[in-house]
Each structure stands twice: as structure tokens, then as C-alpha cells.
Structure 1
């Protein structure tokens, strides 16, 4: 558990007791803080009965409190906690800010912060994997893996690799990353920000908190227009787009051909960012190349879940907007595309440039009809409604050498708990196809 002696005897309020909130409360209690905590779920509150003061911070006199901690899922633009805390002059922060405060009490280490609309999970996991295979003590947290405060401190020389959403950046004020990475900024989460520019500014704050270090710096994939704009305003930048990767020495990199889980142009960008990050941390090409070759990939991100009758089935459920779905459409040909869910934006967005790869489309969820109407001029469309019907229909239509791709370009909350639940369901449906094929 990561702690700071500075928390001892101070008063904190914690709103939200899911995984991150629980880890935050446990760390504060272990450090000797006084904690007021709340969650709308009774079972979540009961887990802390007798250990904390159970009260809603929105209805609490916050005089004398050090901070209110909220989970990234609390919308600061609409939730009453922010104006309530402001009345008492109490900051609203997250667990990443507590980690930043605890850093001075940890063994000497470095922190990598990785943000971007798309690709940050892959880049975070890849950077962590390269470091780990090179023998560097490392862990990953933030928006991926276990809550950072619940993890054990790394020994001297360790590297904390943090995936950071814009929401998490909004809730920290002192996270000074040794290497900060911005992959891209495309329209997303606009229900939480007044404009696209405000969302981009939230991402850019990761750099604004940085101390400029000689021979260190910020890694930005400048193939993305907004990232390039932010790069133009930022000192000590390593520009690492696809052209940068193409200009590296192929005898060292062996190029993407030999990175089995990092195919497609988007993964070229993710790999470029991870490579430059690890170079900034002092790794040599041999160690970096070993990590690129052995990276296992992430579930739900262009995950090959099986092959049936010569047809490949790919789970890209994590593609929750059109910019995230476009790379998968670019990476495969003769695609039977399962698309739809809870739309974050109108139209086909960045997927439109790859429609030529789509043999047929199968629409699901709330946005199913809108996608069907948009795709009808380009390819045959089946309005399936649900994922099980879509998988079954696509399996009947697909021919050997073709790909059935779940890359929904939408959020999952209309029909599933989250994108993992959606991807798990797709995987189960594909495996059921294989089982039925094997049944005499």
C-alpha cells in the first residue's frame, strides 16, 4: 500500500466506494487519517461500517477537511459535490493526486503518465511490459490494472506507468511525470466538457504539471492534428508519429512485421510512443525489441478470439468511439462488421475512410438504425439489434479468409455492463459457434 505520513490526523471525505474508492479509503486509514465516506450502494457502505464516518460529503459540513476525493466517474460539471466543496475552500481531488503527494516518501523512482483519447491502454501495457522484460521494477495503474494506492511501493529505480484519463487529470494538481505521453485527442466525453477545445485542454494539463528535465521530455504522437497543436506549444517534445517510426533503424526495430499483437497503423503509433518512452528511461534497443516481440496484447482490443471454418473472429469491444474503431477496420480486409451501441457522436466519423474494407455490416444497440442508414450506401446491412443475432448472422454469411469484427464504435451501456462485458459475451458466442460445429 502506498501511503504518506502527511495524511495522518487530517480529515478527508471520499465519495464513491467502488474499487478505486475502497483502495483510497484503506490507504488513508492506514496512514492515520480521519475519513468520511459515502456510496449510494448500501453494501459498499457496510464494508466500512465502524471504520469511517458514513455520511454523504454533499450534505456534510466540510470545515477543516483537507480534501474531498471522488472517483473519475463523478461528473464534476454536473455533480453538486464540486460547488459544495468550493463553498468551504476544499479541493476536489482523486487518488492520483494522493499518489503524487506520497511520492516524496517512496524509494527513488520515475513516473510515466500516458493519456490520449485512444490507444492509452495498449501503450501503457506495452511500456510496462517492455520495462518488465528488461528487468526494471515496474507496475501500472491509474485507469488500468489495480488502483495505484493499493499497490506495494516499488524498490529504488522502479517505474510507475500510469494510464490517465482526462477525468483523472482533472483531479490532480501536482503529478509531475518524468515522462508524459499524449497519443491523440479526438472528440469524446463531450458530455463532461463544454467543448472539444476544453477536453483537449484537460489532456494538455498533464504537460503543464511537468518540470522540464534535461534529456527527458514529453512524448507526443503528432500524426494527430490536435496533438500536433499541443506539441507546438510545448517545450522538450519528442515527436513520434508513424514517420518517426519508419525512419528508425530497421535492423534494431525489426519493424511491425515481427510484433504479432501490434499490427495496424494505430499500433505503429502506440509502439512509437512506448519505444521513445523506454529510450528516455535508458533502455537499449535489445530490451525494447524483446518487449515488442513478446507483448501479449490486451483483451478486447483487436483480440483474436478464434477461427471457425476459415473465418477469423476479432474482439475489439474497447473501440467505444469511431476514432477507436477505425484502426481495426484499417487492419483487416473483407470484414463483417458488428457495429453499434450507445453512440458518442453522430455519423461514421473516422471509420468512413476504411469502409472499403467492409463486406457487410450488422448493427446492434441504440445506435443500430443510425449506423444502418449511414452504411447502407456502402455495403449490405443487417439490422440485428442484439449481439447474439449479429454474431449468428455474420457467421452464416462470412466466407473463408474473411473476418467477423466486433468493433462497435459506441459505448456499451445500452445493453451491457461495460465494454468488457460486451467483449466477454462476443467471445462466448464465438466459442459457442465452434462448439456447435464440433457437435455431431
Structure 2
């Protein structure tokens, strides 16, 4: 745990008592503050009381006596579509509003650092897609290379649940737009912007607000090095702005998946399955990604470029990075290779909850026996039609099955209903060289409580098959 600094002896409001909220309350208490906790959910209130925290309804004026700061959980809206009533109350009471990420950066550096031989560093990863894989990949490479490294944020442990920094330690954080938007303190040493696609637009008041929330990690954080995905216009804009305002050393590394990057700056890009690093107009390294089973498809090649650039910035040699890229096994539910049976590959991409993510999965493979369906999103799978020629057959589950069957436009399909039946039917049809791919293009909530539970059901069904 990282004790929060700067609030000793003061009462601090904590809004939202899920994983990050309770970790925040514990870290505040460890730093000598008095957390005053609130959650609209009574079960969450009870969990806080069990841990001995004071619980008070912060929508009531009477409970704000002595509270000058409110720490809110990331999922609670503070501006759009409307501020949560407790956040609005904090403003009315003259309190500042922050989140756990702001507290982390406020508290991470301590006087003990003066005795360290190598200062600790923080690498932060943000963007619309690939954050979790990139964060886990950087952590894997550094750990396998013998570095002292820990990982958290939007993946694994909450930021305040991490260990206090040790000599030379590297902390890798995945940060969502919800986390970067509100944090009053941001100070990454290396910051990564992966990409941008429409998401959470109601929460950010449109695409401009969404991009502004992501870009705060760079514009407010002032990292020593920025690694910027430039496959979208927003990334190209951000890279140009950072190059213009930071003119010492090589502050920006541009990354891309699918095209060669021009110019004399530092760049890392992947084309036709090969990663290339260029500096000062010349190629300095090349890596063949094509047979790295934990990193299938162009989207994972972008993740590899980002992780490679971060590890090079830390000082790892290209061949060291290559070795540990090859040993990466992938994250659960994200193009995760589960098994090979009868020459057919079984891949779990339950995290593909929309057409954008499903398209990336479809593009990563050929001869696909596609398990899709669930709780449909607007437009269904019509946007995926250009990828239908990669399919051998679709096996449709959940509420969306009938709608998807109509949108397949003559391509072969079977309505299976359940995951177990879909896996069984796909396995019965599969031939050597086929890929049985779960990429639902749907939310899970018609049949499962989360995409993780849906992916677990796929894995269980695959494991129950006879070899």
C-alpha cells in the first residue's frame, strides 16, 4: 500500500466504495487522514463499516464539516452527462475533487528516494484499445529481463494498493480516460498514447472531451518521453504538439501498425509482420513478429511497438526485448490461444464486446469458425461485412443470434443459443488449419455477468472437448 501524503489529521471524503474506493480509504488512513466514506449502494457501505471506516451520507451538508477534499472513484461522472450529486455538493462546499491516480502521484515520491542509487520510474499507458495488453506486455518484458517492476491501475491492483517505490523499481500503470481526466497530479516518466476510437462519449461530452481526457496525461503530466500512436489524426496532432513544446533529446517516439513512418525522429512501426526501429533516418533494429503466438494480428503488433519503445526507453537492448516479446503468452480473453485440437486453433477474445474489437480479431486469423452474439449493440455486425470472407461459418449465441443471422447476408451460419452448443458444433465442423474464434461483438449481459465469465465458459467448453 502507498500511504497518502499531505492529508495527515484531515478528514477526506471518499465517494464510491468498490475496489479502488476501499483501497483509497485504506491508503488515506495509512497516511494519517480520516476517510469519510459514502456509496449509494448499501452493501458497499456495509463493507466499509466492516473495515472500521466512518460512513456518512455526503449528499447532506451536515456531514461536510472539516472536509476540504473529495476523492471519487473513476466510474462516477463528475461533469457529463451530469455531475453526481455528491460531487456537485463538494463544489458547493468549496472542496477540491480528485481521484486515486492524483493521490498516487502526489504520494509516490518520498524523502527515502534521496538514498536510492536509481530513481524509480513510472510508465503510464492510455488509449482506446490495447491498453491492458500493452501494460501487461511491458511488465512481462521488464520482469523477464530481471528488472524490479510492478503493474496496476486499470489492470490488476489499484494504484494505491501497489507497493511503495524501491530503489530502481519501475511501475507500469494502465490508465483509462476516467482516471486521467480528473487526476489533479500527473507525473509519468514515460507516457504511452495507443490510439483513439469513439468510446465513453456520453461521459466526456463528445469525442473532443474524450481526446482531451486522454491527452491530459501528456499535456498536464509532462513526461520525459512520450510514445504516441499516430495511426489516427488525434495521435498525429498530439505528437506534433509534444515535439514543438519539448525540444531537448528525443522526447517523442512515434509508433504505427501498418505503415512506414517518415522523418528523422525516433519511430517504431510494424509492417507485414515485422517491427522496425528507426532513429535519425536509419534503421537500428528489426523483429519478426509473425510467429509470436501471444501477439496475433495487426492490433497486437501495435501493442508490441508500444511495449518495445517503452523498454528501449528504459535501456533494454533490441534482442533482449525480442526474446521476451516471443515468450509473452497473452492476457485472458484478449485473442488468447486456448488450445489446438485436431489441427484447429481455439481462441478466446471475449473482450471483443463491439464491432471495432471484433474486426481486429477477425483480421488476425483466416479460416474462422466464428462464435458471435450476446447483447447486441447499435448496428449489430453490419460493419463487419468486409471481413465475412474470412469466415468458414458463424455459430450464433444469445439474444443477438436472429439479428446477426440476417446480417450475415448469405454466409453460412448456425443458431446455437448457448456457448456450450456453439463450441461443440464448431468443433464438430472444424478441420486442420481452422480457427474457432470467440469474438462476440456484443455485451455479455444477456447470459453472463461479465465478458470474463463468458470467456471462462468458452474455455471450459473447449477444455471439455476430446482431443
Q: TM-score, normalised by structure 2?
A: 0.85
Deviations 1:60-107 (A, max 9, x none): 543532322222222333432332222123233221111011023263
**Shift in CA distance, 341/82, structure 1 to aligned 2, threshold 3 Å:** farther
Which runs of 5 or more structure 1 residues have no equivalent in the other structure? none
- Alignment match of 2:292 (pick from 259, 263, 287): 259
Give distance in 2, aligned partners of 1:415 and 1:370: 17
Of the structure 1 ranges 303-312 and 136-145, higher mean CA displacement relative to structure 2 is found in: 303-312
What SS does the aligned partner of 2:459 have? helix
Which one scores higher on RCO, CA 8 angstroms, separation ≥ 6?
1
Deviation at residue 411 of structure 1 after TM alignment: 2.6
- Shift in CA distance, 75/352, structure 1 to aligned 2, threshold 3 Å: farther
Measure, in 2, the Cα distance between the counterparts of 1:346 and 1:186.
Answer: 16
Q: Secondary structure at the match of 1:21?
A: helix
Question: Is residue 320 from structure 1 mapped to residue 328 from structure 2 by the alignment?
Answer: no
* Corresponding residue number in structure 1 for 2:366: 333
Offset at residue 47 of structure 1 (A): 3.5
Q: Which residue of 1 aligns with 2:101?
A: 96
Q: Which residue of 2 aligns with 1:4?
A: 4
State the partner residue of 2:277: 248
Q: 1:413 to 1:167 in 2, by over 3 A?
A: farther
Q: Could you say what the CA RMSD is over the residues aligned between the two structures, in angstroms?
A: 2.4
Question: Is contact 1:188–1:344 with CA below 8 Å preserved after alignment?
Answer: no
Alpha-carbon shift at residue 200 of structure 1 (Å): 2.0
- Other structure's SS at 1:429 match: helix
Which of 132, 136, 143 aligns to 2:154? It is 143
Per the alignment, residue 228 of structure 1 pairs with 236
1:82 — aligned with what?
87
Match of 2:58 in 1: 57
Displacement, 1:255? 1.5
Structure 1, 180-189 or 71-80: larger mean CA deviation: 71-80
| Structure 1 Cα separation of the partners of residues 382 and 300 of structure 2 | 19
Check conservation: 1:133, 1:287, Cα contact below 8 A: no
* SS across alignment from 2:445: coil
Contact residue 12 and residue 33 of structure 1 kept, 8 A? yes
Which stretch of the first structure deviates more once superposed, 339-348 or 94-103? 339-348
TM-aligned CA distance change 1:5 to 1:423, over 3 Å: same
**1:175 aligned onto 2:176:** no
Tell which deviates more after alignment, 299-308 or 66-75: 66-75
Instruction: Please say if 1:46 is aligned against 2:46.
Output: yes
Change (3 A) 1:42 1:81: closer
| Aligned position for 2:73 | 71
What aligned pairs does 1:263-342 form with structure 2 within 5 A after superposition?
263-342=296-375
CA shift in 2, pair 1:212/1:349, >3 Å = farther
**What TM-score, normalized by structure 1, do the two folds share?**
0.90
Which of 444, 458, 463 in structure 2 is aligned with 1:412? 444
- Whole-angstrom CA distance in 1 between matches of 2:324 and 2:142: 8
Deviations 1:377-397 (A, max 9, x none): 4x2233344333332332333
Q: Residue 398 of structure 2 corresponds to which residue in structure 1?
A: 365
Distance 1:272 1:417, change over 3 A: same
Shift of 1:357: 0.9
What are the Cα deviations for residues 156-183 of structure 1, in whole angstroms up to 9, with x where unaligned? Answer: 2111110011111123121111111111
Q: Number of residues paired by the alignment?
A: 431
Q: CA deviation at 1:5?
A: 3.4
Q: Give the drift of 1:254.
A: 3.4
1:20 is matched with which residue? 20
Q: Note the alpha carbon deviations across 1:360-404, whole angstroms, 9 max, x for none.
A: 223333444443332224x22333443333323323333332111
Secondary structure at 2:415 match in 1: strand
- Aligned with residue 109 of structure 1, among 120, 128, 133: 120
Q: Distance in 1 between matches of 2:127 and 2:382?
A: 17
Preserved CA contact (<8 Å) 1:323 1:349:
no
Contact 1:139 1:160 in 2 (8 A): yes
Number of the residue aligned with 1:204: 215
Unaligned runs of 5+ in 2: 114-118, 244-250, 261-268
